[in-house]
Each structure stands twice: as structure tokens, then as C-alpha cells.
Chain A
Amino acid sequence: MHSYDYALLLAFFAIVLLPAPWLGRFYYKVMEGQRTWLTPILGPVERGCYRIAGVDPGTEQSWQTYTLALLAFNLSGFLLVFGVLLLQGYLPLNPQHLPGQEWSLAFNTAVSFMTNTNWQSYSGEASVSYLSQMLGLTVQNFVSAATGLAVLVALCRGIARRSASTLGNFWVDMTRATLYGLLPLCLVLALLLVWQGVPQTLSDYVKAVTLQGVEQVIPLGPAASQIAIKQLGTNGGGFFGVNSAHPFENPSAWSNLFEVSSIILIPVALVFTFGHYVKDLRQSRAIIACMLALFLIGGATALWSEYQANPALSNPQVEQAAPLEGKESRFGTTGSVLWTVTTTAASNGSVNNMHDSLNPISSMVAMVNMMVGEVIFGGVGAGLYGMLLNVLIAVFLAGLMIGRTPEYLGKKLQAREVQLLVATLLVMPLGVLVLGALATSLPGPAGAVSNPGAHGFSQLLYAYTSASANNGSAFAGLGANTTFHNVMLGLGMLIGRFGYILPVLALAGSLALKKTAPVGQNSFPTHGPLFVTLLLVTILLIGGLTFLPALALGPVAEHLSLGF
């Protein structure tokens, strides 16, 4: 590694960690309707939204109503995108006259953007019109992130409130999350990206004649605005097919730094938001410590692995350093690995290198990051509520060992809570293993891989992991645009999204109803190094025990077969 690699890492952690406490408090104030410096500007807009929609921001909803509102909102979002993609050929803002998408692809894409996954079985510039991008995809980029944030604050309120029957108002939470939480930051990032040369235009693709005299079509579009929310909203769906490896999507070292750090900027801050909700920032620090530890373990492993020379080329005549296949030489190994680890740790899924070309152990790190349920910072809101589920599981597993009914922040974990926790534990095995097993056992779908053996298995495993974890990054190599994979991956995304959201909201409702026992010396300590270690081990143990056999057949076998 060179000095500029270290500089990149340092700058990344500084951008991500330093503003987090301040930003976290900002999110708390915003979501609770308190006054911030943005209120004078956005307050009237917010009130206008309520007036138009006929929402009374003062009324609160029970967890059931909150859930119904969320489902209704997401369903209509899905239908809108699905419709637009099917019919884009007849709709305006389509200068390239792209036809409507095939139904399974449209289904896959609509589910993908609604669930904050942004898995793309298509290439943006080749099959999606400007209208579809802006009205369909970009809108979902915003509201799917806002949905995650809404679910998170509902859970925070559930934990923080005592003997309460309501969790807040879904419509209000959505409005505030979008208006204050996402829009201002996106505006800043979009401007920064435009400054670095990312296009933001509605004009036609440019036709140019190359030096060879061949005519070349250069795709353009309103890219900067979509890239901003794609990164900040942990969406990851690229404007162009090759995502952030594309020179228009990620033109410079600066844009690379801005984009990669904005992936987890909000998720890190939200951990502090939680601390403000429960009035105990020690909890935030413990959770951050655990996330950071997992991130660093994965990052270090991936960096080590990616700097290994390929043994197949260990020939004295070949001088080789780290393999660069599938990477942009502009970003180099460290820049690529940092992005890979960050995008899989958070459920972002944008890429600046092709994961298919990673060394097996680095690709395993990417998979493990997703398999543990996208809880290492994770998606906006989704990462932290996933992490809190792990916290509750750790508390329940070890909590009995202090001789009391397990309690988290004074809330008892009883049969109902455990039931809901177990439901969420089943999500990843169901999405990854069951759907993956289906895909591997049918000759057609299994044949979509581009390599035989362990690597081919990794391609399939990665695809179903990415979908179920709502990550959306692709391993490439898998020809995923088939009816089977489109439908099955879409199913995986739905399981992965609502398999968490529904139990989490039910959990929030059930916790809110409970009394809060005083937290004191004899309560289970949920801060401090001991708990951080316990949490870390719990996450790795549950993820490990579930996926170790599959990983052994994929990246581990490949690693050993290649003779590393």
C-alpha cells in the first residue's frame, strides 16, 4: 500500500466518523419535530405537505396502523414503478425511444428499488428512459431510504417509550426523513459531484466520431442527482450499467472519496440518533464500536487477500503485484477494496470494481458482510434496526446468565419478543439458502453462471445473498436477466425487506407497551467492552453457523483450490 492509500482510508474514516455525533443529534431533532436551523426554510414545505395530504402531524399511530400505512405506501410505489417501466415506450422523456421492459425484469426492478436493494438485472443507459429514472427509480431511492429511517425511529420509540400504545405517525416520519434527512445532504453531494464532472442534463445522448472514424454514442442524463441519493440512501442502483466504475458516474479521486464515504455517512450518524432516543449515548458508542470492529476485521482481511498475487501466475517471468483484473486502475487496489467492503457492509450495492474478479477471500468478506444481515452500519435505518435485533438476541442469549429475565434498557424480552426475533433470524437462511438451493438445483437457472465449480457457486450464492440482504451489488458473471432469476431474486428482496420490517414494527409495538424497569447496577450491562465482544461474537456465530457450509463450498473451496 502507498501513502495515498493510507490517506484515502484516513480521509474516509474522518468524513464518516467525525460528523456522526452532530448529525445523529440532528436526525433525532428532525424526526421528533424539534426546531433545527433548517426549520425556517423547510418548515413551510413540511406543513404544506401535510395540508395537501390531509395529515394531522399531531396524531400518532399504533404499530398496526403504522405497518399498514407503510405497506400501502410501498405497494403503491411498487405499482407505479412497475407500470412506468412496462409502459415507458409510450411515455415522454424518452429521447432514445427505449421500449418497455419485459414483465419479469420490470417486476424485479420495481421490487428492487422499492426495497432499497437496487439490484439491477438491466443496464441503465440501455433500457431505462429518463422518465423511468426520475419518476420511478429516483423517487424510490428517496422513499425507500426514508422508509428504513421511519422503521428505525419507530423501533427507537418502542424501546424508549414506556407503557405506550403508539409509535409515531408514518406519514410524518416519511415526510421529515425525506425533507430534512435526505434532500439537503443529497443537494450538497450532487453539487460536489457536478463540480467533479458528473453530468446533470436532460439532453440526448451525444454522438461522436472516434479517431478510428467509428461513430460512438456517449450516454448522458441527470446522473449527479441520482448518484447522490444512490450513495446517501444506501441504494446503489447505478445510473450507468457499470455503476461507480463509470467515468461519468465517478470521475475523480475526489468524487470517489465523496461517494464511498457518503455510503455510510447516514447509517453511522443514526447510531447516535438511537442514543438520543434512549437518552443513553453509551449504547450508541457500544454499537458503533461493534460495527467498526466488524468493519475493520472484514476490511483488513479483504485488503490482505486482495494484495495477494495470484498463484496461477507465480512464474518468475511474470512480474505482478496485486491483481488488477476487474478494477479501475484509477482507484487501485485499496480504493476498490474500501468500496467493496463499505458497499457490502452498508446495504448499498454500488460498485467501483467488479466483485467477480476479487480474490476468493475478499469476495467472501463481501458475502459475509451481507450474510450477517447488513448490520455493519447497514442501510439507512435498516442497518441499525438489524443491529438492534442482534443486540436483543445477544441480550436474550446471555441475559439469563445474570439470573434475571433478559432485559434491554429496562424492557423485558419475553416469549412474544423472542418469537419475532426468531422470525427475523429465519430471513437470511430462507432467502439465501432456500432460494439459492432452488436456483442451483434447476438446470436452467444453474446454467446461468459463467464459471464452473466453486466460483460458479459463488456467483449464485452472491446473487441470492445480495438480493435477500437488500444490498443489490452484483458479483457479475451470473446472467441474471432470466424470468426465473428475476422472479426469484425479486422474491428474495421482498423476504429480505419485509421479513425484517414487519417483525421489527411488531417488536416496537410490543416493547412500547411494556413498563420500563429501572436500569441499574444489577441490569444486564449493554455497554462497555464485554458487551461489545458478546455482540460481535453473537453476530459472527449466528451468521457463521448458518452460512459456513455454503461458504466452504464457494469462496473457501475456491481459495484452497487456487493454491493461495
Chain B
Amino acid sequence: MNMPIPDVNAVPAEQARTTFAALWRPALVQAFVKLDPRQLKRAPVMLVVELTAVFTTVLCLLPDSAVPTSVALQIALWLWFTVLFANFAEALAEGRGKARADSLKAGSQGLSCRRRNATGNYDVVPATALRKGDVVKVLAGEMIPGDGEVLEGIAAVNEAAITGESAPVIRESGGDRSAVTGNTRLVSDWLLIKITSNPGESTLDRMIALVEGAKRQKTPNEIALDILLIGLTLIFLVVVVTLQPFAYFAGGAIPLVFLVALLVTLIPTTIGGLLSAIGIAGMDRLVRLNVIARSGRAVEAAGDVHVLMLDKTGTITFGNRRCSALHAAPGVSARELGEGALFASLADDTAEGKSIVEYLRQLHDFSEPQASALTVVPFTAETRLSGIDYQQRRYRKGAVDSVLAFVGMQRLDMPTALTKEVDRIAQSGGTPLLVCMDKRLLGVIHLKDVVKPGIRERFAELRQLGIRTVMVTGDNPLTAAAIAAEAGVDDVLAEATPEKKLARIRQEQNDGRLVAMCGDGANDAPALAQADVGMAMNDGTQAAREAANMVDLDSDPTKLLDVVQVGKELLVTRGALTTFSIANDVAKYFAILPALFAVIYPQLGVLNLMQLASPQSAILSAIVFNALIIVVLIPLALRGVRVKAASAAHLLRRNLLIYGVGGLVVPFAGIKLIDLLLNALHLV
């Protein structure tokens, strides 16, 4: 019933076009559209600039003997440019996010679905008519019309449109795989789905809302920064407005156009103009990671996190135990053992079995028997062994007691060297498997949780940023400690239950720490809700997805580390540009003040450190610099300032040097350069 079923092959849809070349044109149009004061209201500093631009434009019509009209016109023009540049930055950031969201949304246009009515029959309704609690039936080949939970059925779902992962995933009722996402395609069977979100609240809608400037909720730090910027604007307004009476007292007057210019250069236009772009670009970076945040607040909180609670399985280790070593029994050669273990595992399809085969193939070059020559002996609950029969020999592997029973041996009779090895493996948190050929014990295989490569370094980086990692596992404390030591986590929560997890989060929070965690099961939901940053896996349960404030579409728990990085970058970028913006004012004063007072106190000309050519060119240069610096900083605002793993003091010193001292120095050079250029071109 999904009427416009697109060609299945075309499903990954058009790739989101996010290059500058594709985006600048619509952004330019948007820059003008955003001149609407109702939209600018969200960026109060820019609203002030727009008002002054209007005011200056009007002043151009009233000739002032002190200011040539051409100069006044240029000032007015650059004031308009200042607003347009800021709008352009926002539009560009918005455009990138929207392009990504639109490519996701493309499939949902005109979607219809079967909704169960009161009589138990199904009506065909547009997907937009669905409300929370509605039940729909979806058949193979159709799109799932909205986020929901599987009530009945089992089916394969292609979630490529959302996750980019082309292999279909299984969704079924009950258990931890019951949640489905709107705009994903059923590739087999059928599902009965209870819709869990109203229109406009789905995962996709949330994604879009986060990158659209006008609908975007400001994050707490952004609000705080906004207040500071408004405060600074007010202060400078007072400074500029009171300057005229002071000038009158000194027996002179300052042209209004110049006062306006002074105001605009002093108020924090750089950060005021880029603030919104920074926020949108931050969310966009998150979307690019395939993580959807319920709100920007959670992303910011991620930057503040003190403690990461990470599930061992899947995050720190690969999900399954893997073969890590073999130890031969006395009198057995390594090659004999290797061959025996390989044969015993050839038919074993479990991850453990495969890992043994993989391990041994790398170690020796065995001639493997043809599959047809084998008699497979599968694992049964009775024997608790598996293996093959080959050339009248029986190769088996299994847990220690099962294999001993198979060869008819008491535990005490086992060779001492082997017993020691078995005990050592068990104590280190691993699993020992015995291998035998007929009645002869060959040796022991060491299976263990294997820590993902690179994760240790990742944790070390986090530690430098002051973030502690806690490994959460159901394992006993001994096993847990062994893995923890190998992975380099700071702390372990062993034999974890959902209650213990929740209690641990509460305890950390009571100590004033912010906690981030990820989870997927229904029993993770309370902990996810309690954590300051809770990231649910997309293939998890609906309960977990609802409790969390972020969903990872790729269901990769290590993403949490990237989210922390994005959160930090977002904050650092804002801080850096704020500092830069305020530091800029010093140079602007030295450009404008001597120019303003040139008539009243020519002696103040000594403050003209930059030796700018004339009062007019000095003021115009400052205004031009003020506008252009926004353009220059757009790439930085969109890309974000990189956060290196380092202590707070180190980060502060580095950023203060770049953005603080840089902010003091750069405008001196910039304004001087523009002044030279303006005079060379005879614009003043």
C-alpha cells in the first residue's frame, strides 16, 4: 500500500550534497531572507547591527558636512554586509544539516499505510495521519511509516536510509530487537507495529529540528553566552550614547555615523554573528556520526561528562570470546595440538569455533581435509562436546570436564602441567577448552574476551581530558578485573545488574559528577534516563530509545566517545570565538577613538598607533574589518575547534594564546591592511 514504492536499488537515495559548491547559492538567498527582524530576533546582537544599518542608511540621506556622503554610504553598506555575512554563516550551517536530513526524508513523501481501526480491519491512511498508539501492518517491500514497536511478527528490515548499513537486520516482537524506525524498508515477511511517536516527533523529525536555525532550541551554554553578549552590547550602547554629551562638554560634536560605527565595532558581532552557525554545525557533526540527539542540551552535557559507564561486551571487547593461545599436553607437539584443535573446530559455526580456526590458520600451514570427507559431530547438551570424525579418528573439543569424561579420565589424573595451565586460564578470566584425539588429550585452548584494538589509547586520551571510564559487566569480579586491566579502564562494576547500574549512576551524580552511558535493553531504560547523557542503540528496544537522550543509528557503543568529543568541540569553538571577539575591541578603539576626537583634541592623534591615513579611512577600515572577520571565521565556526587530549590548563593556555592574544594582535594588522587598500583604491 505504500503507493510510491521507489526502485529498491535506488534506496540509499541521493547522497546528501553538503559541499560548499552545492550550498552557497541557496545560503546566499537565505542570507537575505533572514534579514527579517522576526528571524534576527534570535540573534540580538545582529538585530542591533541591522537597526544601526537602517539608521545609517537613513543618515546617508541627511548630509553632514563632517562626513562625506560617499563614506557614510560605504559605512551603511558594510553594516548591511555584516548582517548578511552572519546570516550567510547560519544559512550555510543550516544548509548542510538540511541536505542530510532531506536525503533521509526523501523516502517519506506521500507515504501511506494500513492502520488498524476499531473493528480490527485495516484502513489505508497517509503516514502523516498516524498518532501515538496507532497500530499498523507493514508487509515485505513496504516502508515502515513511523517509529514504533513490533507487536507481532518477525521480519528483516533494511535500515540503510537511516544508518547507511545495507545488511538487513531482524526485528521481532518482544526482547531487545523490537524497535523499528520510520522510513526503513521491510524486506521480508510482515510486522504489526504500534506507532510510538506523533508526527513531528519521530527520530527523523528530531534530526531535522536540530539543524534548522529557526526551530532550534538554544542549549544552556548558548543561552548563558547570549545573555553575556546582550550585556556587553548594552554596556557599549551606554558608552557610545554618553560619548556625545561628553564631546559637547569638550566643545565639539561627533558625527552620528561615526558613533554608529563605533557601536557596531565594539559590540561582539563576531561571536554574535556566528553563535547560531556554531550550534547548528555542532549538531550537524553529530548527525554525520549517525547519532541523533533529542536536544542540543544532551550534546553539551556530553562535553561536561566526568564518568563514562561502558558495557564491556561490544564496547570494550568484541562481543565473543576468542582463541588467544594453545598449550600442549606433555609429549604432544605444537603441530599435533594445532592440527587436532583445527580439525575439532572446522565444523564449529560459533564465533568461538571460528576464532580458533582463524587463529590456527595464521599459525601453521595445515592441509585441511575436504568438507565431504568429514563426519560432523555437533554439540549436544548430553555430550557437551563438538568435533569431527576424520579418517577413523575422533577429534573433539569441549569444556574440561566433558572432554575428561570423553577420554575416561579423572581430573586428578590429568597431567600436572595441563592442570596448571587450565587453572591459570580460569583465574585470568579466560575459558579453557580441552582438545582430544580419540582417547588422547592433546592440550588446552585459551579462549578469552579480546579487547578491541585502539580502545586502550582511547581511554588514555579520555583520562587526559579528565574523564573516567567505568566498565560495566555481568562477569565475576576476577574476570572483570583481568579485562579491565587489559583495556585500561579506571574502574569496574562487576556482576552488574540494572539496579546496581542505576545505583552507581546516582552515587556518581551525588558526588557532583556527570555520567554518560549507553545501553540497549529494556532493563537499561531506568539507567539511561538517570544518566546525564544516555545513548541508546538503534537496534535496541523502544523503551531504551525513549529513555535515552541520544540514539546511535549504527548501534555502535564506542560512538559515545565521539559524542563527548563533539560536545567539547562545540563548547571550545564558542569560547574561542567569544574571546577573540572581545579581544578585537582593543585594536578597534585605537583605530576609532583618535578619529572621533580628531577635531576636539587633535593631540589624541598619538593614540593612532596604526598610523591610519585619515579619520574617515580609520573608521571605515574598522567597520570593514569587523564585517570581513565574520567571513574569515565561517570555516572555523562550521568545522569547530579541534580539542586535543590534554589537561585543562594546557588547553586553556593554548587557546588563550591563539584566540586571546591572536584576537589582540590580528585586528591591528587587519585594519592597517584594509586602510592601505582603501586609500590605494581612493575609496575615502
Contacts and interface: CB of A to CB of B under 8 A. Distances in A.
Interface of A: 162, 396-405, 410, 413-415, 417-419, 421-423, 425-426, 429-430, 433-434, 436-438, 440-441, 446, 453-454, 456-457, 460, 515-518, 520-525, 528, 530, 534, 537, 541, 544-546, 548-550, 552-553, 556-557, 560-561
Contacts of B586: 541, 544-545
Given A401-B651, A530-B652, A419 B227 contact: yes
A561 B576 CA distance: 40
Contacts of B585: 541, 545
Interface in B587-621: 589, 593, 596-597, 600-601, 603-604, 606-607
B304 A405 contact: yes
A422 B466 contact: no
A117 to B, nearest CB: 21
A440 B249 contact: yes
Interface in B633-651: 643, 647-649, 651
B512 A404 contact: no
A529 to B, nearest CB: 10
Interface string B230-242: 1110111011011
Contacts of A454: 250, 601
Contacts of B659: 401
A247 B502 CA distance: 74
A440 B246 contact: yes
A401 B589 CA distance: 25
27 contacts: A397-B579, A398-B652, A398-B660, A400-B571, A400-B576, A401-B572, A401-B651, A402-B651, A405-B300, A405-B303, A418-B224, A426-B234, A433-B238, A441-B248, A457-B246, A457-B249, A518-B513, A524-B648, A534-B656, A545-B586, A549-B596, A550-B242, A556-B604, A556-B607, A557-B597, A557-B603, A560-B606
B604 A429 contact: no
B407 interface: no
Contacts of A561: 601, 603
Majority SS of interface residues in chain B? helix
B246 A437 contact: yes
Interface string B270-313: 00000000000000000000000000000010011010000000
Contact of B224 (A414, A544, A548): A414
B513 A517 contact: yes
A433 B242 contact: yes
A440 to B, nearest CB: 4
Given A440-B248, A453-B250, A560 B603 contact: yes
Given A404-B568, A425-B231, A524-B648, A548 B656 contact: no
Contacts of A417: 224
Nearest to A533: B656
Contacts of B643: 403
Majority SS of interface residues in chain A? helix
Q: Which one of A162, A456, A457, A518 has the greatest number of beta carbons of chain B within 10 Å?
A: A518
Contacts, number: 211
A234 to B, nearest CB: 26
Contact of A457 (B232, B250, B467, B511): B250
Contacts of A434: 238, 242
A415 B227 contact: yes
Contacts of B241: 437
Given A396-B224, A553-B600, 10 more contacts: A400-B574, A400-B578, A403-B465, A436-B242, A457-B249, A541-B585, A545-B589, A552-B601, A560-B606, A561-B601
Nearest to B647: A521
Contact of B593 (A405, A426, A524, A549): A549
A413 B304 CA distance: 13
Contacts of A556: 604, 607
Given A545-B589, A560-B606, A437 B245 contact: yes
Nearest to A559: B603
Nearest to A162: B512
B5 interface: no
B579 A422 contact: no
Contacts of B655: 398, 401-402
Given A398-B575, A410-B512, A522 B303 contact: no
Nearest to B607: A552
Contact of B571 (A403, A546, A552): A403
What 5 A-B pairs are tightest by C-beta distance, nearest first?
A522-B466, A400-B575, A422-B231, A403-B568, A560-B603
Nearest to A538: B582
Contacts of A430: 238
